Amino acid sequence: MRNLDPTRAKWIRFRMGLLCGTMAIGLGGFVSSAFRVQVEDGATWKETAENQRQRRLHVEPKRGAIYDRNGAALAASVEVPSISGDVVEMLRGIEGAPAQQVAIQDLAVRISAALGLDPNDVHAKLASKRRFVWLKRRVTADEAQAVRDLGDPKKTPRPVKGLAVEGEGRRYYPGRDLAGPVLGFVAPDGFGKDGLELSLDEELRGRAEEVRGLRDRSGRLIFSEGTTEEGAFAGHDVQLAIDEGIQHVAERELNVAQRTYETKGASIVVVDPSTGEILAIASVPGYNPNDYSESEVEARRDRAVTDRFEPGSVMKVFTVAAALGGGTLKPTETIYCEHGNYQVANVTIHDTHENDWLTPTQILAKSSNIGALKIGLGLGEPAMYAAFRRFGFGEPTGLPLPGEAAGVLRPKGRPWFDVETANASFGQGISVTTVQLAIAMGAIANGGKLMEPILVRKISDTRGAVVKEWTPHVRREAVPASVAKTVAEMLTAVVEEGGTGVEAAMTGFRVAGKTATAQKVDSATGKYSEDKYTASFVGFVPAEKPRLVVAVVLDEPMIGHYGGDLAGPIFRRVAEASLRYLGVPPSHSAPKIKTVTRNGDPADATLAAMKIDGAGGSAKGDNGKPDGKEGAPALAGVVGPPAPNGVRVPDAMGMGARDAVRMVGNAGLVPLVEGTGRLVKQIPSPGTPAPKGSSVRLVFEPAS
């Protein structure tokens, strides 16, 4: 710059200095910003970067299983494929809104064809342009393969990106409708609905977790951090006290009874009286939790715990027990039963049979209302009410099932009047549940101890460690052991000759129990109905060392209505099969009961080999003969008048199943139907004398 004009050289030096200064300031600012970003604000920017490159994966835990007492699965979770989509990935490389709209329309058509969906519904989901959207959940194997083919370049010239086949848990019930109302079901959102699935939902469902993972450009998971061990947050397993074998027998018997007697509903509870464990609890109509959406809401109700009903004569057991325990009644005392008619205040009480002097045992065996009310009035309202409460009536049993009813003993805030005390003594004006009856009768069977009912035995985690366990627990003493033993012995007379429960008697075992036939209140009139009844039988066996308590309740049977005739045989068949299943040998000292001789096991014949066909159904033993009294098949050739307490088989030939069953039932016989259509054969034949309560085989064939 020596050759330059001094003025110009000075200007050049000024500009160079200005440029260098500007660059120095800029570099300083850059370094300062870099320091602030990387050092001072480094933690914040690092978190932002991590959020951009990581994905939060919502891991739904595997739902715990439900097992019976022997480890048989009643409810389990299986993995089924579900289809999800990343719309952003599907549209990658397609620029402009018009082009993307055309692409979405094409994708909706192709995806809907593979999954069998409405294209409009698929289009609406894709139009959201979200990174994750469920296209169809719980698909079939064919649908999953069709989706894989859509994304395979080897199978389609225009593969669809962003589709994913993901495993998702689905609840499966191996027994189909076995214990359906007890188990409940699981909705698509993963939450339990009804039954144990609802009440134990928190334990079964486990805890959901979020796992951070790295996904590549295609959205595939290439790395994850945090807890990924499935068992760390999986749901707990539940073991029930229910025995699958006994539950199966109980449900089959109820289904047969519902078809034969055309009941509105029915329930049965089988309890081990020494522990309070519920071995079976069933109600009909039932449903299949695998297809719960196809069932009626009414069928999902567990009638054994939710339905209240007037128990009728079975309450006489607890009235007598209370009086014996209170010292107002002696076992050998005789009570005048007024020849079948007795007035309390302005109400006249009737007995079905006219009786005069009866002992407490005879009052139970003949089911005398008048005898029971005199015992109740002699005990007094406060003492009888307190005794019923000691047996667990008027309070929930505490089972982990939703909607359990407590029953009703008396209007709140006031004691019973004399008429109400009289009615309550034989089971009118109060309401109970089937479970309450079973547990209360268990207190008679086990020596006077009211047990805490056990439906769930234990809850354990995936490693097998017990989280919670239920063991036998005595709630309180209902009556002294000596009183319970006395009443148990009295109840054996109910199933012996002259009692109301002879149909419940078993060969090789002494049975103790009580029948009940209770009129239902007509909701329209507020009075007792003339044609709507609740028939029940509650008992235990063997009477000396009880292993089972069985409570059977039939709601509004159309064919007959007496508890001994309808519920008694159900008790017998369930108890026979269950005792054989449990390996309980018959007692040689037990009285022999006259029953039909059948090939195979007498306890299982009407269950294991039974066929149900058509509207009328079919019930046939394993040798093709009806299930009835001894000698019933041979009655076809008998002539002459019917034996005492016997009837003639009515002529129902040519009738439909409903009319024929009703006619035979009204004659005091038990109809066993086979086939559908019109009646073509009766065994025994029409007009044949037969013992009341014996079976008549009705064979139906379709009209030609």
> What does each C-alpha distance from 10 to 13, 18, 23, 593 come to in angstroms?
5, 12, 20, 135
Spatial separation of the C-alpha atoms in residues 365 and 317, rounded to whole Å: 10
Two tokens at 35? Answer: 């320091």
**Extended strands (E) in 525-613:** 528-541, 548-555
Contact between 407 and 432 under an 8 Å Cβ cutoff? The reply is yes
DSSP 174-240: TTTTTTHHHH-EE-TTS-EESHHHHHTHHHHH---EEEEEEE-TT--EEEEES---GGGTPPPEEEE
Kind of pairing, strands 54-59 and 209-215? antiparallel
Kind of pairing, strands 265-271 and 66-67? unpaired
Two tokens at 128? Answer: 């959201």
- Residue 596: CA count within 13 A, CB half-sphere: 26
Spatial separation of the C-alpha atoms in residues 181 and 269, rounded to whole Å: 13
DSSP 32-52: HHHHIIIIISHHHHHHHHHHH
H or E stretch covering 133 = strand 133-136
DSSP 382-441: HHHHHHHHHTTTTS----S-TT----B-S-TTSPPPHHHHHHHHTT-S-BB-HHHHHHHH
Q: Given the structure tokens 């979200």, which residue do they identify? A: 130
How big, in percent rounded to 5, are the helix, strand and coil portions of the chain?
A: 35, 25, 40
* Phi and psi, residue 378, nearest 5°: -70, -35
Contact between 271 and 277 under an 8 Å Cβ cutoff? The reply is yes
Contacts of 632 (CB under 8 A, 6+ apart): 596, 626, 684, 690, 691, 694, 695
Two tokens at 24? Answer: 């120095």
Spatial separation of the C-alpha atoms in residues 638 and 627, rounded to whole Å: 19
Spatial separation of the C-alpha atoms in residues 241 and 471, rounded to whole Å: 11
Contact between 312 and 517 under an 8 Å Cβ cutoff? The reply is yes
* Phi and psi, residue 192, nearest 5°: -70, 145
> What does each C-alpha distance from 479 to 56, 316, 416, 485, 565 come to in angstroms?
62, 15, 22, 10, 30
Spatial separation of the C-alpha atoms in residues 501 and 498, rounded to whole Å: 9
Largest CA distance in the chain: 157
Taking phi over 0 as left and psi of -120 to 50 as alpha, with beta for the rest, 623 belongs to alpha
* Residues with active-site annotation: 313
DSSP 464: S
H or E stretch covering 239 = strand 237-240
Spatial separation of the C-alpha atoms in residues 21 and 40, rounded to whole Å: 26
DSSP 232: G
Residues 427, 284, 195, 445, Cα dihedral to 10°: 40
Kind of pairing, strands 670-674 and 695-701? parallel
Contact between 301 and 307 under an 8 Å Cβ cutoff? The reply is yes
